[in-house]
Structure 1
Amino acid sequence: MGRVVRKAAGAAVTGSLTVLLAAAVTVGAGGPAHAQGTLNDRLAARSAKNQGKPGSGDERLLVEAKELVYDNDRNTVSAVGNAELHYGPRTLLADRVRYDRNTGRVFAEGNVRLTDETGAVVTGDRMELTDDFKSGFIDSLRIQQTIEQRGRPARVRFSAPRAERIEGETTTFEYGTYTACEPCKDHPERPPLWQVKAARIIHNNEERRIYYEDSYLEVAGIPIAYLPYFYSPDPTVRRDTGFLAPHFVSSNVLGYGIGTPFFWNIAPDYDLTVEPTFLSKQGVLGQAEWRQRLANGFYNVRVSGIFQSTPSAFLPGPLGSGDRDFRGSIESAGQFYLGQNWRAGWDVVGVTDKWFLDNYRIRNQTISTDYFREAVSTAYLIGQGDRSWFEARGYYFKGLSTYDWQKQQPIVAPVIDYDKRRDGPDPIGGEVRFQANFTHLTRDATQYTQIPRTGTYLLSPSVNGISFPLYSTCSVFERGQCLVSGLAGDTTRATAQVSWRRTFTDEFGQRWQPFAYLRGDAFFVNPNTTGYQNPEVTNLFSPESNFSGRVMPAVGLEYRYPFVADMGPLGVHTVSPIVQVIARPSETHIGRLPNEDAQSLVFDDTSLFEWDKFSGYDRVEGGVRANLGAEYSITGRNGFYMNAMFGESIALAGVNSFRRGDIANVGRDSGLETTRSDFVSRFQVSPNQNISFITRARFDNATFALKRFESGITAKFAPFLPLETSLIYARYEAQPELGYDRRREGLQASALYNITPNWFVTGSVLFDLSHYLQVREFYATAAQAYFLNPVGTAPTYDKADKFYVSSSGLGFGYRDECTTISLNYLSSPIETASGLRERNRTFLLRIELRTLGEANFRQNLSTTTTADGIATAR
């Protein structure tokens, strides 16, 4: 009797490990007569218990080993030598696997490796398991599990000298460790960058939670925090109820504080986050966010509010919110798909005062904070077909800068755009396009801007609607003295345009593109003649009727003749002269119609061959015009690309629309106001995919003096140098008729240098190279004196340095597969519009331990901040 050894290349049967080993024993050596019956009874009991469950009697078992050993004396069967057992989704590998028929236990020894149905890999020196591999004890346990987090794979690791698995659902680690860090390849014995050590770690797969008892957080092997008890979601969990990482506050006016967000995963499709922030000087700031995903879309609502303990920390109105006890905000966004081609949504924000979001550091992606702060609320309906587009929107603009006067901000609703393209009918062919736009807006007060005089530094015409008597500002509209960028009252415009174009290529390679369009505009203007409206602006429009219209027909021809030469290793060279001629009548009602959406006119290479060079619908280009240019490009065989263009525009007949400025003087100082325009050019070169350089310039048509220049380069030097950098330079000559009486010039540089694969340093700087006069302490003296003391005093002026640093940033950090740590220093003007020297100096610290959470800390170093409504340093 004793031992029976059989060589086995492989064996497969239906059922569990018990079936295979028991059958082998029965056939092999005539074991005890009761063995088969006992095993069959055990199998029948398990089959009844696990009926319908994965991994029950319907799965197949594959055993591979160098030999099978049957020990009838001990009633065991062993797979010896590179044993590999596959049972359903679980796989067990070991040097030796022994099954004890008396206890129904499986003992695996030597390089044991168990992979379960989740993909987690459990390794150990020795494992004692049940025959379905779900439960048991493991010595020298190590578990590695690969998960996907934020779109990239990540691995987490557990280890313990001894652990117990129960039904494959719960694993208890005695004196265990947990980390998401990779072990050091050269020195695997070193502790990872961070790990959690605990007397007991319990991983419950059913709850998908990890519980830690009597635990320490170690960094580089050094304990830095003790946590008697806490739990974290399983790394596979994206959403789980519990406390999120806290954030800390330190501010002169808010005091010290801590925010403790609590996330409530109410259901798979909606959740709630509540975050009280306890501030030592202002009380409790409450925040809550509700999110819900529906079958056809999603929406969220976030509210914030506080009853301030010390309102006097902020300036009194209208310079601040010092007269408010309660301050708050509400924000909401949503989008819903109404069908295959239609969607609707909104993105709105409302605040009790313009300073709240900034004072309490509440961030929203719809709020711009660079130079001029504003919040844009919008609701929309969008439809898209194969060759058509429909969009209807409404806008509400909330000015958040100190000098914004809300009565000058328009409410724009609705703005409706429709664009449809189709093939032209026979015999004309080509493409026919129909465009339509309808816009209605209203505002309470006309927005004036004074054209500055030489040697005078001028600010916005008013603060909260009240003009400063200390400075020359626009209190009445006078042509040549003031610009009107927005009219009080109601303005409605409807525009429709139909166009046609077709391209022909003749036998010589010449490309001819005839085109034509017909456009009509109808305006209804109802100026507000009471309150804040200026009668001089009202007189711009006909007293008999507030309705006016215009029609603009046009025909044109564009000609290109590309000359192509394939020069082998020198690439493909293309030279193409371009001529475009457009004939149309003169623009009518110039300067006697509002201009709300066509004020950002920039003449450069991108607009040279546009049929209409105005940026919006309120203006329309008229007159006969020829646009001339030439383009040269090289396309290399090794990724090299170069492109250059040079051209100008000539007014041939009729009224030059850009020579006669409207009430906002759009067109003047644009480079297009003369019969022969300024020259525009472009030069772009990319030696390879890592380096790109582009520059654009505009030159005076008579003196060739530089009028406008933009140049930028981005470069990645890897693998030779771990450096990424960009450099942008811009220079714009004075445009006094548009309110810019001095040259504007700036240089921005940024770089990211990877010191090692993990350590990096980054920096950026913006230089103001213009010779502007900087107003110092204007708001704290002149403006405040005017509102609080009508006598006031005049501001002082100071000349800026040539390389005046407008804003800068410096940071360094560490990042790897489990940790991100970054420390950044930011310095920027509090409000560029005011010309203040007061700066925002802030340190930002961010620490992320992947799968555990992240923490952010912000410290503002500014001592006195008046531009954001804060009264004093506290």
Structure 2
Amino acid sequence: MADMRLVLRHLLFIACAIVWTGYAHAQAQPDVPPDEPAPAVLVADDIEVTRDRRLVARGNVEAFQGTTRLSAQAIEYNPDTGALTITGPIVLDDGAGIVILASQAELSQDLQDGLLTGARLVLNDQLQLASVQMNRVGGRYTQLYKTAVTSCRICENDPSPPLWQIRAKRVVHDREARQLYFDGAQLRIRNTPILYLPRLRLPDPTLDRATGFLIPEIRSNSRLGTGLRVPYFIKIGDHRDLTLTPYVTGDTRTLEFRYRQAFKRGRIIIQGAYSDDDLQPDDTRGYLFAAGEFALNRGFVLEFDLESVSDDAYLNDYGFFGKDRLDSTIQLSRTRRDEFIRLSYINFKSLRDDEDDDLLPSDVVDALYERRFHPSVIGGEIRLSAEAHAHERQSNVNFDADGDGVVDGRDVLRFNVEAGWLRTFQFGGLQMQTELGIAGDVIRVSDDATFDDGDSGLAPKAGITLRYPLVKRGDNGVRQFIEPIAQFAWTGGDGLDVPNDESTRVEFDEGNLLSLSRFPAPDRRERGWAFAYGGTWARLDPDGWSASLTVAQVLRQDAQPDFNDTSGLSGTASDFLLAGQLEFDGGLAVSGRTLFNDSFDVSKAEVRGDWSNASLDISGSYIWISEDPAIELPSPIGEFTFDGSYKIDRFWTASANWRYDLEEGRAATAGAGIAYSNECVRVGLSVNRSFADSTTLEPSTSLGLTVSLRGFSVNTGDRVETRSCGKQAK
């Protein structure tokens, strides 16, 4: 009986020791106190106690505790020395991304110290470290001697070396800091040494953020020369970091930077660059962008986006952004179910060589308040809104200096209030939507000798919209929808005698077809009677394709003088709006929209298409706008864009992009790239050409080469193709 108690005591001790490893902290279970390890389970084909009191477990030995699992062929415990002798093959998996494989092991009873031979350490199913001998020290450090490190798949029957590997005399893995330290590291490509480093530190793939170098890039630019970009990431804390990226060529010395910080109720990001180059040898160049968002009390949100650049050509020369206008914004807003508040300030700066910042409304202040109610007495919904807007030009010239109808220094201040009642009635299949309201406008103009100080007025309005949706269901599961629409609208009052500073670009589409005013800003409104009519047809096929088509037109009593020709709304009869969409189950989708008159003269047209499947991802667009001197468009605009990628096989992907100016008869931008990616490496080569030619922008060609060794970063979750050993991987 005493021997039986002794066996059980040793068995329980061994089970706890096996699972209490330095590679897995004991996790508190819901019904287990946090300071005690979770219950352990030991399973083996045979367990015995020898005459010298040694406990031996043989045959398919497995120990479990929480997510930790240890398997071996045999385990022997010596109570005199407290040592464990483990016979392999040994597999120790902590369930948190760290796996140890070995053939033999001599470990302490708590598995914190000891020696493993023929050992291999696998981190996060990505990086494997094979060594002749492995030592564990204090449960935190693992030392590997004569080590080969790689994330490439190694086949047992394939004698060829991996695509890349790091050979080192010694590698130390710090489990707590999650870092790898190399002594005498040698980077090899197909077993050919190409780089030697006496000391090297790299994060293991289980670490989210660590100070160190990121993926370098070789970049060649026809204007800046060829150089190397080497980002260096600095972890300042758990919620802050800084990335510094030097970029040096024969023609430029540039330092890029990015600072990020997360707060309890918000975040900020600051990025920029500082350059000393030969393009402007007498000037230092750079840019600074800052953005942030903070949640304030009472549901308010503060957002800001600040943008500044040293000169108009800097962003284009270095390929940072495709902006030709900068907009610095600070905004305070609150959104609730029945209320919206916004207060914003915007500063514009143009990078176009044909625009003068002093003549643009560069400073804009806007305040908006909207509220809605649902009265039970009259039903429907009541909407109230109030807006204050001001924009200012830096110029003080109060007359038309250029003779183009625009006063150089004009400043505008306006106030707009609106009240409206909306309600929907249902008469069988007929739906009627009613809207009654009134708007008040006050506009003040300064630094403009061609207009008085401003004007004000009231605009009562009313509208009735009728819809009659019809549905047809076929025997084969096809469903078709037809919905005719008609709207009668009226807006009273006289138009204000103020300049058109905000509603110069008017769009006519499905979104504003039933609006009582289609101007983008309330500095002017449609007046008089108007009748909008049209219809929508849609078809849904169970085979996986669908189609829709919308046709509409607006008729009015009086022409609106502020609608330009390309808006499609000029005259008493608007252009016809035709919009459609077609989608197929195979990933192809095409949509288009056009405006044309009764003579089939087109003022605007656009077509967009996408095709996506397992191997192909293509998108393209075509846009055409006719000439319109009223909006400073002396000649038509036509443009075709293309962007796509093709997966050649499991590892190779080709991509291309192209933007072509149809009116100029030349490309604006073009680019192509090819990338190879597998489980252990990603190589990308790209070339981009900009054909811009102006006083501030010149054509340029850029080449980029990036090489990334997988295994030293966190798994992003993207699918990575793994090479197979003799058989095709699925």
Under a length normalisation based on structure 2, what TM-score does the superposition of the two structures give? 0.87
Cα distance change of structure 1 residues 165 and 322 upon mapping to structure 2, 3 Å threshold: closer
Q: What is the aligned counterpart of 2:434 among 514, 518, 526?
A: 514
- The offset of 1:237, in angstroms, is 2.3
- Of 529, 536, 541, 1:631 maps to 536
Q: How does 1:387-426 map to 2 (within 5 A)?
A: 387-423=338-374, 425-426=375-376
2:445 to 525, 529, 534: 525
Q: For residues 735 and 87 of structure 1, do their structure 2 counterparts lie closer, same or farther at Cα, with a shift above 3 Å needed?
A: closer
Q: Is the 8 A contact 2:451 2:498 kept in 1?
A: yes
CA–CA separation in structure 2 for the residues paired with 1:713 and 1:68: 69
In the alignment, does 2:182 pair up with 1:224? no
Give the equivalent residue in structure 2 for 1:435: 385
Matched, 1:339 2:336: no
Distance in structure 1 (CA, Å) of the matches to 2:498 and 2:282: 41
Deviates more, 1:821-830 or 1:398-407: 398-407
- Residue deviations 1:424-452, cap 9 Å, x none? x233211222223221111123899xxxx
User: How far apart in 2 are the matches of 1:187 and 1:20?
Assistant: 36
Q: Larger C-alpha radius of gyration, 1 or 2?
A: 1
| Counterpart position of 1:491 | 412
Partner residue of 1:16 out of 8, 13, 24:
13
1:694–1:712 contact (8 Å) kept in structure 2 = yes
Asked if the contact 1:14/1:60 (under 8 Å) is kept, the reply is no
Matching residue of 2:451: 541
Aligned AA for 1:839?
Answer: P
Q: What corresponds to 1:100 in structure 2?
A: 78
Cα distance in 2 for partners of 1:762, 1:287 equals 27
Contact (CA 8 Å) 2:11, 2:55: kept in 1 or not? no
For 2:114 and 2:637, the matched residues in 1 are separated by: 75
Which amino acid counterpart does residue 13 of structure 2 have in structure 1?
S
After superposition, residues 209-608 of structure 1 pair within 5 angstroms as: 209-246=179-216, 258=228, 261-275=231-245, 277-278=247-248, 280-281=250-251, 284-302=253-271, 304-305=273-274, 308=276, 313-314=278-279, 323-324=282-283, 326-339=284-297, 341-359=299-317, 361=318, 363=320, 367-369=321-323, 373-423=324-374, 425-445=375-395, 475-477=401-403, 482=404, 484=406, 488-507=409-428, 509-527=429-447, 538-542=448-452, 546-585=453-492, 587-589=494-496, 592-608=497-513
What one-letter code is carried by the residue in structure 2 that aligns with 1:821?
Answer: V
Q: What's the CA shift for 1:277?
A: 4.8
Contact 2:219–2:702 (Cα < 8 Å) also in 1? no
CA distance in 1, matches of 2:127, 2:640: 45
> Retained in 2: the 8 A contact 1:408–1:446?
no
**SS of equivalent to 1:84:** strand
Q: Distance in 2 between matches of 1:323 and 1:266?
A: 35
Equivalent residue, structure 1, for 2:128:
157
1:134 matched to 2:112? The reply is yes
- The alpha-carbon deviation at position 489 of structure 1 amounts to 4.2
Aligned residue in 1 for 2:22: none
> How far apart, in 2, do the equivalents of 1:689 and 1:341 lie?
44
Counterparts of 1:404 and 1:13, CA distance in 2: 86
Does 2:660 align with 1:762?
no
TM-superposed CA distance for 1:337, in Å, is: 1.0
Whether the 8 Å contact between 1:605 and 1:681 is mirrored in structure 2 is no
- Residue 625 (structure 2) aligns with: 732
**In structure 2, C-alpha distance between the alignment counterparts of 1:235 and 1:500, rounded to whole Å:** 60
- 1:821 and 1:632 map into 2 onto residues whose CA distance is 48
How far apart, in 2, do the equivalents of 1:417 and 1:395 lie? 14
Kindly state the Cα deviation for residue 625 of structure 1 after the two structures are TM-superposed: 0.5
Between the aligned partners of 1:270 and 1:417, the Cα distance in structure 2 is 35
Quote the residue 2:722 is aligned against: none
Q: d(CA) in 2 for partners of 1:393 and 1:760?
A: 44
Cα separation, 2, equivalents of 1:5 and 1:178? 47
**What is the CA–CA distance in structure 2 between the aligned matches of 1:264 and 1:13, rounded to whole Å?**
49
Task: Say whether the 8 Å CA contact 1:17–1:61 is kept in structure 2.
Answer: no
Task: Describe the shift of the 1:669–1:194 C-alpha distance in structure 2 as closer, same or farther (beyond 3 A).
Answer: same
More displaced stretch, 592-601 vs 206-215: 592-601
Distance 1:87 1:712, change over 3 A: closer
Report the secondary structure of 1:346's partner residue. Answer: strand
For 1:65-76, list aligned pairs within 5 A.
Answer: 65-73=44-52, 75-76=53-54
Matches of 1:830 and 1:59, distance apart in 2: 67
Cα separation, partners in 2 of 1:437 and 1:209, compared to 1, 3 Å: same
1:168 aligns with 2:139: yes
Q: CA separation of 1:728/1:263 partners in 2, compared to 1, >3 Å: closer, same or farther? A: closer
**Cα–Cα, structure 1 residues 851 and 705, in superposed 2: closer, same or farther, change >3 Å?**
same
Offset from partner CA, 1:506-545 (integer Å, 9 cap, x none) = 12x0111111221222112111xxxxxxxxxx33311xxx
8 Å CA contact 2:183–2:198 kept in 1: the answer is yes
Q: Residue 208 of structure 2 aligns to a residue in which SS?
A: coil
- Looking at structure 2, the residues matched to 19 and 346 of structure 1 have their Cα atoms a distance apart, in angstroms, of 56
Counterpart amino acid of residue 496 in structure 1: V
Structure 2: runs of 5+ lacking an equivalent: 19-31, 715-730
Instruction: Output the CA distance in 2 between the equivalents of 1:132 and 1:89.
Output: 18
Q: Give the equivalent residue in structure 1 for 2:547.
A: 642
d(CA) in 1 for partners of 2:150, 2:46: 38
8 Å contact kept, 2:313–2:696: no
Q: What code does the residue aligned with 2:458 have?
A: V
DSSP 3-state at the match of 1:503: strand
Q: Give me the whole-angstrom Cα distance separating, in 2, the residues matched to 1:20 and 1:650.
A: 86
Residue aligning to 1:793: none
Q: Which residue of 1 aligns with 2:41?
A: 62
2:243 and 2:259 in contact (8 A); partners too? yes
Q: What secondary structure, in the 3-state scheme, does the structure 2 residue paired with 1:108 have?
A: strand
Alignment partner, residue 123 of structure 1: 101
C-alpha contact 1:16 1:87 (8 A) present in aligned 2: no
Structure 2 residue 711 is the aligned partner of structure 1 residue 711: no
Check if 1:687 corresponds to 2:584. Answer: yes
Deviation at 1:355, TM superposition (A): 3.3
Report the Cα distance in structure 1 between the residues aligned to 2:575 and 2:48, rounded to whole angstroms.
94
Counterpart contact for 2:207–2:713, Cα < 8 Å: no
1:380 CA displacement:
1.2
Match of 1:807 in 2: 669
Distance 1:337 1:180, change over 3 A: farther
Using the alignment, how far apart are the partners of 1:402 and 1:629 within structure 2? 43
Supply the RMSD in Å over aligned alpha carbons. 3.4
TM-score by length of 1: 0.73
Counting matched residue pairs gives 697
Structure 2 CA distance for partners of 1:733 and 1:262, relative to 1, 3 Å: closer
Equivalent residues of 2:217, 2:704 under 8 A apart:
no
- Deviation digits for residues 433-486 of structure 1 (CA, Å, limit 9, x no counterpart): 2223221111123899xxxxxxxxxxxxxxxxxxxxxxxxx9532xxxx353x7
Would the alpha carbon gap of residues 411 and 402 (structure 1) be closer, same or farther in structure 2, given more than 3 Å must change?
A: closer
> Following the alignment from structure 1 to structure 2, what is the Cα–Cα distance between the partners of residues 19 and 642?
65
SS where residue 354 of structure 2 aligns?
coil
Q: Distance in 2 between matches of 1:239 and 1:599?
A: 49
